[in-house]
Structure 1
């Protein structure tokens, strides 16, 4: 056995030379699923055939993922054989032909996925047959419970544990750090775990990572919450609904995110994190993730139904998703917006401040002791008094210390080609420009856009600023912007 030194993300991959006698004797072919046993451990890997001379005929190389799972000693000898069909294979076939699945069947699929017994092709088939409207309400409940059962779960003891989540699709909508700081400053528990970006320019964990440490284990997270009442950590080191992380990696390239799976994904992580009261923000807009009010209402009904079934009190906040929130799109740029709001700066983006107060108020009003309408008043008081900012710094210090977010090395405007009035903003294309500039891999990269629908535009004025860490990425992002002039569409000004 030897290490190939190839990153295949989660997929265990085995490499054999095309003239390997074991491969010929077993009848292995490219993409065969092979059982690799070594020193009492086993991993099922997908076979890739090597035609070059970097691998010997008596050697088997493992991708980084497979090597970490098997952890062989140097020079170890392995036994290779055709892998047994995964236990979930029959469940997958049943769902393909329209069978409704129960919790045990979903759990069988998820456990095989976690054990790497399912190939990406099989996982793609599972995601596909569960997409759209192919999961009814009872199946959404079953999938959510199965996702919870195959991971760890945090128990915070008695009393309410608040949380919030946004379904996404709206650049710059970074309310979480503000909301957590407000709610914790008012004396409530809100242990917030967030993911890093998968296809967006920034996730909450990416934004917080520009200001403090976010890669906490469960023990460290408990210490922070016990000390400050809240946290803003990445869920990457915690096994909270780990099967969801695998499914997400399949869903994103396929651009499949059905309501049933999305609800199971959100609520399984909330339940696993020990939350009891959860506010879900659903931005609605033509280029947001949820595009119509009818779709938002359908998601809201499913969230409430599934939430009640797994013991969560769910509140739904439907918000305006027509255009970006704040000014920055990208980890550090969004962090600067957050800090301006928390510091009550006169230059703080007003839309981000108002949206954060709306969400914080709705979170607080999930508690029975807080009357409707009073939650936002309490939230505004905590922000205006500086209590939220002090709590934010205290949480950062408990997580390892606070630091100011950085700035990009290269900044260039994208200017208006003509006079006019700003018509609509394409959220997806603006986010794409931020990603091409280097976000979130480069935390200082992204886009700054201060314009909003209806603003008057003059030829040559900046529509937005592109921030990048290198000239190449800057040019790449600007080339895309020039090729997509409808990112910020202009209409003729009315006289």
Structure 2
């Protein structure tokens, strides 16, 4: 065995998206190379390179002459048990000099950002330097020119799709609003009108469900680019997970580090959104900005500033961008969690009695705007065109066809355990704390368990009687259900009631 090579094994440890390797501190390679814990190391196997964080092991589950890989590292390296892998210090990154330049007041150039994004997309930049990049971009750290350069750099280091036709439509929501699963309705409505709309979506990071999580309950979303292209050529639309492509690959890595920092950066947000739209071949994009005290965009003035930035950067990238401010003060639909939100979507598509009216109307409005932007109908008539497509069953037929093209339609599963939270008094619902409700859904197991979450039985303004159901928690295990329920009992009421007034 070569001195710098070790047999590799899978550790069976989930480190999310962070590749981690495990070595004994008394391993001859660790001692020879001076590898400290939390050092970044490069692992090479059959020509494939992986950059990962090293954790030292002192127990006997790992022998001193082997290396173990976390699940993320194992997948990235595509290793085979027992391979002899080379372990060494990673090369020096010259791109990090651009971070130091920004600290000293030198604006980012496209060349600097291209070099940084290349290293980021290849997993070469340690998290500590990613955190410094995100901090430098926070607030107003990026001007419009730098934001355009960052967007272009993020596109240029990944794959890019061209559809050979026009218009190619897209729609995005800034997020932060539980149950707002309009994409699964907008795409089939628009595609049923003969308009091309390839939609790549994300999984949840801090929410109870992302668009991809909800769609995955109904159909496969883990498609590669060639399969995605076939689906769109056949059905005019798709709803797939963007993480299985190399479309703006640096963005997913930046998001992983950005979220725990809780730093707002308008430039990073704009680059994140628009780089993926450009890379997937979109030409005209509608962006939904839910505005509310508990959403990502908390005021009309903040929405206006973000809207101007999106439109300006979009224009520089050759995109026609239109924004729409929507109500972000209350949840949308009834279900919160992948399967429960999927059930809402299917109820709207099928025209079921009791289907969530707010989800239906919000989706029709957004689909109508997309159709108007596509030139399929005059300004002001899009909502009615979308309504007709939905009411005639054409949207349902198109959604089923898209699901079948992506691998087959399946019905949403149901949780094994539920608990109804009832009203403690009579009155009218004055407010619903979207963050508390979403947190309860997550504690019940969503989105890791697609059946988990919460269902709201009433909306703001509804008159409620003592003992009437307000919300039902769903979980796959009794323990998860009690965990979520205990959380709800320790908080201020997530659903606030105004006392009933006499005649």
- Whether contact under 8 Å (1:3, 1:63) holds in the other structure is no
- Whether contact under 8 Å (2:187, 2:238) holds in the other structure is yes
Q: What is the alpha-carbon distance in structure 1 between the residues aligned to residue 74 and residue 350 of structure 2? A: 48
- Whether contact under 8 Å (1:282, 1:296) holds in the other structure is yes
2:245 match: secondary structure: coil
The 3 A distance-change label for structure 1 pair 443 and 82 is closer
Q: Which residue of 2 aligns with 1:456?
A: 463
- Whether contact under 8 Å (1:413, 1:464) holds in the other structure is yes
Within 5 Å, which residues of 2 pair with 1:239-388?
Answer: 239-368=246-375, 370-388=377-395
How far 1:367 sits from its partner (Å)?
2.6
- Whether contact under 8 Å (1:215, 1:237) holds in the other structure is yes
The 3 A distance-change label for structure 1 pair 34 and 218 is closer
Q: Which residue of 2 aligns with 1:196?
A: 203
The 3 A distance-change label for structure 1 pair 34 and 215 is closer
Q: What is the alpha-carbon distance in structure 2 between the residues aligned to residue 36 and residue 393 of structure 1? A: 44
Deviations 1:187-211 (A, max 9, x none): 1111111112111111111111111
Q: What is the alpha-carbon distance in structure 2 between the residues aligned to residue 439 and residue 269 of structure 1? A: 26
Q: Which residue of 1 aligns with 2:3?
A: none
How far 1:71 sits from its partner (Å)?
5.1
1:84 maps onto 2:86 in alignment: no
RMSD of aligned C-alpha atoms?
A: 2.0
1:31 match: secondary structure: coil
Partner residue of 2:396 out of 389, 403, 417: 389
Deviations 1:215-261 (A, max 9, x none): 22222212211111111122222111111111111112222342111
Q: Which residue of 2 aligns with 1:437?
A: 444
Q: Which residue of 1 aligns with 2:178?
A: 171
The 3 A distance-change label for structure 1 pair 84 and 226 is closer
How far 1:274 sits from its partner (Å)?
0.7
Q: What is the alpha-carbon distance in structure 2 between the residues aligned to residue 219 and residue 313 of structure 1? A: 26
How far 1:76 sits from its partner (Å)?
5.0
Within 5 Å, which residues of 2 pair with 1:220-231?
Answer: 220-231=227-238
The 3 A distance-change label for structure 1 pair 36 and 393 is closer
- Whether contact under 8 Å (2:9, 2:66) holds in the other structure is no
Partner residue of 1:153 out of 160, 171, 177: 160
Q: What is the alpha-carbon distance in structure 2 between the residues aligned to residue 298 and residue 263 of structure 1? A: 11
Within 5 Å, which residues of 2 pair with 1:17-56?
Answer: 17-37=24-44, 40-56=47-63
Q: What is the alpha-carbon distance in structure 2 between the residues aligned to residue 79 and residue 225 of structure 1? A: 42
Q: What is the alpha-carbon distance in structure 2 between the residues aligned to residue 490 and residue 39 of structure 1? A: 63
More divergent stretch after superposition (294-303 vs 128-137): 128-137
Q: Which residue of 2 aligns with 1:417?
A: 424
How far 1:399 sits from its partner (Å)?
1.7
Number of positions where the alignment pairs a residue of Structure 1 with one of Structure 2: 495
TM-score normalised according to structure 1 size: 0.95
Q: Which residue of 2 aligns with 1:3?
A: 9
Q: Which residue of 1 aligns with 2:239?
A: 232
Q: Which residue of 2 aligns with 1:131?
A: 138
1:95 match: secondary structure: helix
Deviations 1:301-332 (A, max 9, x none): 01100111111111111100100011111111
Q: What is the alpha-carbon distance in structure 1 between the residues aligned to residue 367 and residue 189 of structure 2? A: 7
The 3 A distance-change label for structure 1 pair 74 and 424 is closer
Q: What is the alpha-carbon distance in structure 1 between the residues aligned to residue 81 and residue 218 of structure 2? A: 40
- Whether contact under 8 Å (2:431, 2:460) holds in the other structure is yes
Partner residue of 2:491 out of 484, 489, 494: 484
Q: What is the alpha-carbon distance in structure 2 between the residues aligned to residue 40 and residue 402 of structure 1? A: 39
Deviations 1:147-199 (A, max 9, x none): 10111111100210011011001111111111111111111111111112111
Q: What is the alpha-carbon distance in structure 1 between the residues aligned to residue 412 and residue 44 of structure 2? A: 47
The 3 A distance-change label for structure 1 pair 94 and 411 is same
The 3 A distance-change label for structure 1 pair 74 and 339 is closer
Q: What is the alpha-carbon distance in structure 2 between the residues aligned to residue 215 and residue 42 of structure 1? A: 24
The runs of 5 or more residues in structure 1 that have no matched partner are none
The runs of 5 or more residues in structure 2 that have no matched partner are 1-5
How far 1:33 sits from its partner (Å)?
2.6
Deviations 1:44-71 (A, max 9, x none): 3322222223333333333344444445
- Whether contact under 8 Å (1:328, 1:337) holds in the other structure is yes
More divergent stretch after superposition (209-218 vs 25-34): 25-34
- Whether contact under 8 Å (2:9, 2:81) holds in the other structure is no
More divergent stretch after superposition (233-242 vs 17-26): 17-26
How far 1:448 sits from its partner (Å)?
0.6
- Whether contact under 8 Å (1:410, 1:468) holds in the other structure is yes
The 3 A distance-change label for structure 1 pair 227 and 44 is closer
Q: What is the alpha-carbon distance in structure 1 between the residues aligned to residue 294 and residue 44 of structure 2? A: 49
The 3 A distance-change label for structure 1 pair 288 and 67 is closer
